[in-house]
Chain A
Amino acid sequence: GQNIDQPTEMTATEGAIVQINCTYQTSGFNGLFWYQQHAGEAPTFLSYNVLDGLEEKGRFSSFLSRSKGYSYLLLKELQMKDSASYLCAVRDLSGNDYKLSFGAGTTVTVRA
């Protein structure tokens, strides 16, 4: 099994930067994913880290430290449309296959 912890809520101003932290404990770690979910909609894939370090994708970056069981998602130049829930997900071994397990999500509210 795994424990995935992330803050429940964060608020930031348009144009600012927000960092969402995620810590996890798992026995068969094989990758960390970030998904974005707008209210009432499906989660959509944002980023994926399997090795330590920073992955940059436009305004969004994700960092992973496997030894610390820690990741963060960095959102730069915040826009109103970035108001959503951000889900940290860990892929680990389940029986003979891998499964993706999600944290409860961090609701980010962007204010004008």
Chain B
Amino acid sequence: DTAVSQTPKYLVTQMGNDKSIKCEQNLGHDTMYWYKQDSKKFLKIMFSYNNKELIINETVPNRFSPKSPDKAHLNLHINSLELGDSAVYFCASSQEAGANVLTFGAGSRLTVL
């Protein structure tokens, strides 16, 4: 029933590890996003995909690699995790490209020790 679902909800890991967060939407939307919300609550866009094609890639370290196998899925893989990667990562989708009304997932809280 969930519109935008992301897993896992919580992730605790050691520095240097590689981890992935998965996201799926069942709204039939064309565009998906990854946002990062840090401890100061700033919600900052990382990536945007429209129909599996990367359209927005903000200044994000190469250690972050998004993958969209189809337009309903957008996964985020992070290599060599650092302390500063600790944040809540939100997946979102919109009906079409252009950052119209976004529907967010519940968030994945990543803690790097």
Q: Which of B11-19, B40-48, B68-76, B77-85 forms part of the interface with chain A?
A: B40-48
Q: Known: A42-B107, A43-B90, A44-B104. Contact between A97 and B43, CB under 8 A?
A: no
CA A48 to CA B101, docked complex, whole Å: 8
A95 touches B41 (CB 8 A): no
Flag whether B87 is at the interface (Cβ < 8 A).
Answer: no
- Are A104 and B41 touching (Cβ within 8 A)? yes
Contact A99 B48 (CB under 8 A): yes
Q: How far is the CA of A42 from the CA of B88 in the complex (A)?
A: 10
Q: Could you list some 6 contacts between A and B, CB below 8 A?
A: A33-B101, A41-B106, A97-B97, A98-B98, A99-B48, A100-B99
Contact of A105 among B41, B56, B97, B105 (CB under 8 A): B41
Given contacts A42-B90, A95-B55, 15 further A-B contacts (CB under 8 A): A41-B106, A42-B4, A42-B104, A42-B106, A42-B107, A43-B102, A45-B102, A85-B41, A87-B43, A91-B99, A95-B56, A99-B99, A100-B45, A101-B45, A102-B44
For B, the interface residue count at a CB cutoff of 8 angstroms equals: 23
The docked-state distance in angstroms from the alpha carbon of A104 to that of B102 is 17
Name A87's closest neighbour in chain B (CB-CB).
B43
Give the A interface residue count (CB, 8 A). Answer: 21
- Bound-state CA distance A8–B59 (Å) is 26
Q: Give Cα distance in the complex from A82 to B1, angstroms.
A: 25
Q: Tell me whether B99 and A45 are in contact (CB under 8 A).
A: no
Contact among A43, A44, A91, A96 with B43 in the assembled complex (CB-CB below 8 Å) = A43
- List of B residues within 8 angstroms of A91 by Cβ: 98-99
B42 touches A99 (CB 8 A): no
Q: Which of B86-113 contact A (CB under 8 A)?
A: 90, 97-99, 101-107
